[in-house]
Each structure stands twice: as C-alpha cells, then as structure tokens.
Amino acid sequence: MKLKKILSRFLTLHKKEIDLSLDRIKNLCKKLGNPQDKIKVINVIGTNGKNSTIQACYSILKEANIKCNVFTSPHIQKINERFIFNNQELNDNDLVTIFEKVEKINNNQPITFFEMLTACYLYKAGQYPNNINLIEAGLFFRFDATNIFKKNLATIITSISKDHLDWLPKNERTIEKIVFEKTSALLNSKIVVAKQSNNITLKCIKKTIAKNQSKKIFFNEDFSFLEKENKFFYYEDKFGGLKLPQPNVLGQYQLENISTAIASLRMLDLGIKNQHIINGIQKINNIARLQEIKSGKLKNLVKNNLFIVSGDHNEDGARVLNDYLKSLDCKKHIIIGMMKNKDHEKYISYFKDISSITTVDIKSQPNSISGKDLKKKFNHFSNVVYKESLTQAIKSVNLSKGDLLLVTGSLYLCSEVLDLN
C-alpha cells in the first residue's frame, strides 16, 4: 500500500505523462550526486526487441557470474520488474526506501513519472559501480531520460520501425525521423546494429550514425546466424563460430535478438565463454514476448491447447509474430486489444489464415481503444467478434484439439492475462 501511494504521488509531479526533455532528469541527478557518471552502461534502443535483447544479455552475463543491474519499461505485472540490482529484483520495502529518498531530494519539483523512476534507478545503481547496467530506452532516445550518460560501454540498436507516431509532427511521421530521434545522439563508444526489417531502415541508420566515431558492427556484415535442423542454430562473428542449442524462447526473431546480444557481449571482451552463452540462452526470462502459458486459471480454460501471450503492438511486431504463426501447422485463434494511438488496421493486416479474431477492452488502460471500436476496424474479417472481458473471450473461442490461442496487441493486455491467470 505504501509503495502504491508513493507511485501515485510521482504521477502528480508533472501535468504531462511524457514531456521530452533532459533538463528535469539532469537537475535531479545533479542533486543526487550524478550517479549516472559512476556506472557501467549498455544502452539498448530501438522499437522492437529491446527487452528480449536485454534479457538475453542478462541471462548470459549471469552464467558468467557477472553482476548486473537492469532497467526496463514498461513493467508487465509489478513495478519491481524495472529495478534489478546485483541480479535480484528489488522487493517492495527496498523500493520504498529508494523512492522516498529521491522524492525528498526532488522536493516536489516538476518531473515526469518515467523520469522519476529513471532517477530512482540511477540513484541505486550508483551504489554498484562495478556492475554492468543494461538500460532500455523509453520513447525515441534523443530526449529520453536514459540519455544522460557521458560515456557507456556500448549502444545496442535493435529493430527500428514506425511506432509512437503521435509524438511526432504530422509531417515528420517517417522512418527517417524515427531513426534520427533514436540514433542521432549516441555516445562515442561501440555500436551494435541488429537485423532491421528492411534495407531502407538500415540505410537510414548508417547515414545517421556515419559521423559517430564509435566502433560499429552490423548484422550480416560482422555477425550472423543460420537456423539449422536438429534443434540448433549456428552463430558466427570475427571471434569464430558457435553451434548453439535452440533457446528456451519461441520465435525465429528471438534468434536475431539473441545473436545481437552475443555479438555485443563478445565485442566487449568481458570474459564470456562459449559455455556461458550455451547455458544462458536456455534460461532467458522474457515475459509477455511469445510467452507460452503452461498452467493457471486461464490455461485451464484453454485445456491442452497451446496458449501464448505476446505484447506485439506495431507493424514490425505483427510481421515477425505472423512469421512465427506461419511456422505452426494448426488453426490459430487471436484475442486482441490495443491502445488508441496504434495503427490498428496495419497491425492486423499482417495476420493471415486466422480462424477467429476476438476483440476485447483493456480495462486497466483509459487510453486503449474499446473492443467494440476495434471490432469495427477489423470488420473486413468475416470471423471477428467482440467480448467484454478476457475470460468471456477465452470461453467463447471454439477450440479444437491442437489449436493455438494467442493474446496479443498490447503488453498491457498481456499483463491482464498474467494477472488473471
């Protein structure tokens, strides 16, 4: 209860949920002793795959007995997920201690919720100067609260695509502008560029970072992988090749994220051994990203059918998700809820050969589109219906033996599934 009250107070410190600027976070961090200048950081930016890449890095680093701090967003079930120190998620009492300290030092000065959480993370991270910090960027990056470091170990650029367009001027809602916002203000250190969805995006990235003096490595030029039969894949970079087992996460695109993580860690010369990589990629904890639900109340309704939640919510996410669905020889049923500011028609257009679509409300999010309105946008599908709740939606789907049930469209909706389950 105390933690919730503090978070509620954080929400009132600024009239806007998001206000892209670095002044407030820098001023607060200065009062905190500039903890951001004392830590070792790997920045992870992009549109899709940030969290998955971080979780792959984290799992491999843990296998090498390297202490990590991890800052990600959004959280799926509880705020604690965003605050990992010394390879452990902070408990409520420890979070309260940090939050109260930073809140007192901030002294009611205007600051956004995300900026406040970032400052709290950095304040605690400053106590572990030898740990590696895996830090996920928030919105864009150029004016994001995670972009206040003077130096870092590396920047990882994951797949970039169109998303959060409502935060850009109407005449600048282009991939070129998004790439600029995400990559034009990178530090001079090392840059790892993951596989991009098309050559246009890759060319934009290369153009934007051309004058950056960092050492740069690119997927398919400096590292790559091949998926092989017999449940393994082959990774290769300048340090040599690795025959690796299939990871414990679903989807071919996860091999892209894992390969990016491997390339980044091998480049940094952290003493990562081959066995650390082999073990690590089989222990990745990646919540709500093609996550199979194997037990629980909602799983009981699905019975023996495959039940997956995946919080993909933009067109590139839909594309890679559909690539995974196409690899399955079964009937597919989708339950979907989305936020208002997404391109709903573009998202659903990527899905082919779907047996049924059920739209739902995301009850926890006032900025979501209603399930009824979403259904209207999907009316060109002959098999789309609306249900008010997740439980009703699951019960209404006519599942036959061997069918797949997928819940997608929003991480917030996946959070509701996990909470109900």
Q: Which DSSP symbol is given to 172?
A: G
**Of 227, 245, 280, which closes a domain?**
280
Residue 50 included in any domain: yes
State whether 198 and 59 are in the same domain. yes
Could you give the number of structural domains in the chain?
Answer: 2
The CATH number of the domain holding residue 132 is 3.40.1190.10
Residue 140 included in any domain: yes
Confidence of residue 139 (pLDDT cuts 50, 70, 90): confident
pLDDT of 85 over the 90 cut: yes
Residue 379 included in any domain: yes
Provide the residue range defining the domain that includes 122. 2-280
333 contacts 406 by C-beta, under 8 angstroms: yes
For residues 327-356, average pLDDT: 93
pLDDT at 39: 98
Alpha-carbon span 253 to 274, nearest angstrom: 21
What percent of the chain clears pLDDT 70, i.e. is strictly above it? 100
Confidence of residue 314 (pLDDT cuts 50, 70, 90): confident
pLDDT tens-digit readout, 251-305: 888 999 999 999 999 999 899 999 999 999 999 998 999 999 999 999 999 999 9
pLDDT at 380: 85
Whether the model pTM is above 0.75:
yes
State whether 243 and 312 are in the same domain. no
pLDDT at 336: 97
For residues 36-58, average pLDDT: 96
**Of 280, 310, 325, which closes a domain?**
280
pLDDT at 25: 97
Confidence of residue 17 (pLDDT cuts 50, 70, 90): confident
pLDDT at 251: 87
pLDDT at 249: 93
Confidence of residue 140 (pLDDT cuts 50, 70, 90): confident
Phi, psi torsion values for 62, nearest 5 degrees = -60, -40
Which 3 state secondary structure label does DSSP give 359? strand
- Give the pair of three-digit tokens for residue 83: 């605050």
Phi, psi torsion values for 302, nearest 5 degrees = -85, -20
pLDDT at 169: 81
For residues 358-365, average pLDDT: 93
Confidence of residue 172 (pLDDT cuts 50, 70, 90): confident
pLDDT at 171: 83
For residues 21-38, average pLDDT: 97
State whether 302 and 265 are in the same domain. no
What percent of the chain clears pLDDT 90, i.e. is strictly above it? 86
CA dist list (Å): 194 to 219, 254, 264, 421:
5, 11, 10, 34
**Of 245, 280, 315, which closes a domain?**
280
What's at 323, amino acid-wise?
D
